[in-house]
Amino acid sequence: MTTYPLMAMMQLGIVPPVTFPTDSRYYGYGVLNYTAPDGQVSAYLQRRIIPQPGAPNYATINQYTVVQGDRLDLIAAKYLGDPLMSWLIADANAAMRPWDLTATPGRVLAITTPQGVPGGPIA
């Protein structure tokens, strides 16, 4: 039996399960539960594997060369129209730690369409 009221309410269906918006990197992934031997239940996100960069997973629509002081959210806002889509740039450039993408000036980032969305040549 769980001692956390929120977890108990989720198990009873009083609180709906977590769903992620369509622009989230976790859209389509669920929240799973692990029950420890002592009966304690812990919620966790379903495992998400970063897709391999490049074709056929992503279509590169532009490239960006990092300059000192860049932030990934600002690059995403400029090229993708939404700072919350910075995860797409991280995925397309195979970054486990997104902040590494802007750590080195001169690095060239692929700006891509979401996985499965066709795109044109580099602009």
- pLDDT tens digits for range 4-51: 676 676 667 666 666 777 777 777 787 888 889 998 888 888 887 777
- State residue 65 phi and psi, 5-degree precision: -100, 125
Helix (H) or strand (E) holding 109: strand 108-112
Residue of higher predicted confidence among 64 and 3: 64
Local confidence band at 123 (pLDDT 50, 70, 90 cut-offs) = very low
Q: What is the pLDDT of residue 17?
A: 63
pLDDT tens string 54-110: 676 778 889 999 999 999 999 999 998 889 889 889 988 988 888 899 999 999 999
Q: What is the pLDDT of residue 4?
A: 65
Conformational region of residue 106, where left means phi above 0, alpha means psi within -120 to 50, and beta covers everything else:
left
Q: pTM to 2 decimals?
A: 0.66
Alpha-carbon dihedral of residues 9, 29, 46, 72, nearest 10 degrees? -110
Q: What is the pLDDT of residue 27?
A: 76
Residue 121 has pLDDT above 60, yes or no: no
CA separation for the pair 87, 95 (Å, rounded)? 9
